[in-house]
Amino acid sequence: MSLTRTLRRALSLVPRRARGVVYAPGRMASGAWDRFVEWFNELDLSENAVLLGFAVLVGMAGAMSVVGLYKLIDLAYAIFFRWPATWMPAFGPYVTRPLITAAAMVTAWWIMRRFAPGEEGMTVPDVQRRVVRAGGRIPADTALVRTAAAAATLGGGASAGSEGPVAVLGSAAGSLLSRLFRFGADRTTLLVAAGAAAAISAAFNAPLAGAFFALEEILGGLSVAAFPVVVVASVVAAVISRAVFGNHPAFPIPIEYSYNHLWEVGLAYPLLGVIVGVVSAWFIRSYFRFAQAEVSAGRAAAGGALVGLMVAASGGLLVGTGHLAIPLDVFGTMVWWMIALLAVGKIVATGLTLGWGGSGGVFTPSLYVGAATGGAFGAGVLALFPSATMQPAAYGIVGMGATVAAATGAPITGILMVFEMTDDYAIMLPLMLTTAIAMVVTRRLQPDNLYSGWLRRRGINLEHGVDRDLLAGLTVADAIDRSAIVVQAGDPVDGLIRRFAFADQTVYPVVDERRRLLGVVTLRSLGLLAQGEQPPDPGLTARDVAAPTEALTLDVTLLEVVRRLGAQGIAALPVVDAPSSRVLGTIGRAGILARYGRAMADRTG
């Protein structure tokens, strides 16, 4: 009962209007806050000033969310381990570990089922889903419930990452601020990403990795508008984190390492990339096999007991996030096959934890699996060739970044995370090479990563932050530009150059006297003709320079249009009437984005 009362008390501190997914500004009670918000929104502030100012606030909130989660994990550890130790008989780790971890898993399962049913499992994909499908509106109560469940999971010794819960907390802080100030979907999305960046930055003491995590995973790609916002939030969070926890890497590197021979970069690291790619694909498939099962209290207890047994058998090296174990299994004196067993054990333990009722993230377990895979590879090569001067530690470090990239689909984040942990630019060459190869191998064996697979199994198909299902439901008829300029076949080229020198349209359909499509002339091709050594022949016409092109009809989906635009490397394609081939207009990326934005606005209200 005390846990229930604690959760309810925590939720009572959140303004009721900011808790739910659906928010209607008109429902806000009138009062001082409403007058303040109206006054603030009427100020003549630039967009950048508003976003950067709120990025500072979100960065502070993201850092404090990390502190709060760690305090909750400490509390859960005291409840599950320290308190029972005062009265339980000393049965030994093979009895106490399974019992305690089973109790923790059941507690986490109950918290989620009681307060946030249907939200079990991983956490970061849920933020991705809400950014795309709910305009970035993340309910604060769900974030708090996830935090409590993750604290129980990790405090009880189960295997999961802490980055997921803190990313949700940071994102929820950005969403809450945005809703309280009645911001639109665009600002909300940016502040949600800023919150995730701040949380990752504070949790790992890695501001660069935190910023790019938000760009790659939350927003689905690099964005000029989002970059300063997430960077400011990430830096603010890192400053606060260092003041609270100290300025040291999340995973300490206790020994010196180096890259001694050219053959390592030319042979050893590419081979490591292949191995990491295979292991990452297995990690992804293994997780989703565990996640297929229907979760119940009994399954959560069984999963916790199995994880507890594995933790006991490993001497504690598989417990929790693995922050303390990575230096031991990678940089210690263990033989290669023991390190490899730890990689296998972490994959299985994480699948049991997150698939059978626990709550947490997969980012930190991916670091662990990569460290163990790389460390085992390095130790194995050294065992086969004792005269080699290579250092297994270097392979463990590279394996960490490569596995994160391959398993989560965030290559820049994985590379920067390891770079910030080592503070050594020399590691970049083998790290980038290994990461690239690992990603190619993983995608060949397993199209989905850990995040996108979670979404796809729930009927959500996202790619680069875009809802593919929404694009598939729209057609060319919804986004055609019927006002596009067309060019007659006989129009002289020199006239076209003068006419379109400063035009916004970049692709011009060339038509005959019946307006039937003959090809296209692009602004780029006209520019090349204008820059030639000789002016264009006065007799040269649009028909002479028209390039063949694919034409679209009104019933083609926008998802297919995006694919064809990318395949042809062109900004727009002509749209024709199917029976007559008459040109009706054009469709390009700008029109698709505008129509997609309107559809998203209609969906989110």
Helices 392-408 + 269-291 axis angle, to 10: 50
Q: Which residue has the higher pLDDT, 60 or 28?
A: 60
- Whole-prediction pTM: 0.81
Is residue 524 within 8 Å of 570, Cβ to Cβ? no
Q: Measured between alpha carbons, how far is 511 from 487 in angstroms, rounded to an integer?
A: 6
Closest C-alpha to 159, from 26, 321, 333, 395: 321
Is residue 357 within 8 Å of 303, Cβ to Cβ? yes
Q: Measured between alpha carbons, how far is 544 from 524 in angstroms, rounded to an integer?
A: 16
pLDDT at 421: 82
Q: Measured between alpha carbons, how far is 418 from 427 in angstroms, rounded to an integer?
A: 9
| CA end-to-end distance (rounded Å), the chain | 38
pLDDT at 5: 54
Tell me 20's DSSP state: S
Dig out the tokens for 166 from the structure: 């803190």
pLDDT at 95: 87
Q: Which residue has the higher pLDDT, 585 or 136?
A: 585
pLDDT at 99: 93
pLDDT at 23: 41
Highest mean pLDDT among 33-42, 280-289, 530-539: 280-289
pLDDT level of residue 225 (50, 70, 90 thresholds): confident
The CB density around residue 482, as the number of other CB atoms within 10 Å, is 9
| Domains observed in the chain | 2-10+45-245 (1.10.3080.10), 262-459 (1.10.3080.10), 468-604 (3.10.580.10)
**Buried b vs exposed e over 370-406: b needs ≥16 C-beta within 10 Å?**
bbbbbbbbbbbbbeeeeebebbbbbbbbbbbbbbbbb
Dig out the tokens for 195 from the structure: 């919150």
Asked whether residue 261 carries a pLDDT value surpassing 70, the answer given is: no
Is residue 413 within 8 Å of 286, Cβ to Cβ? no
Give the DSSP H or E segment for 309. Answer: helix 297-313
Is residue 347 within 8 Å of 435, Cβ to Cβ? no
Query: What mean pLDDT comes out for the span 108-134?
Result: 81
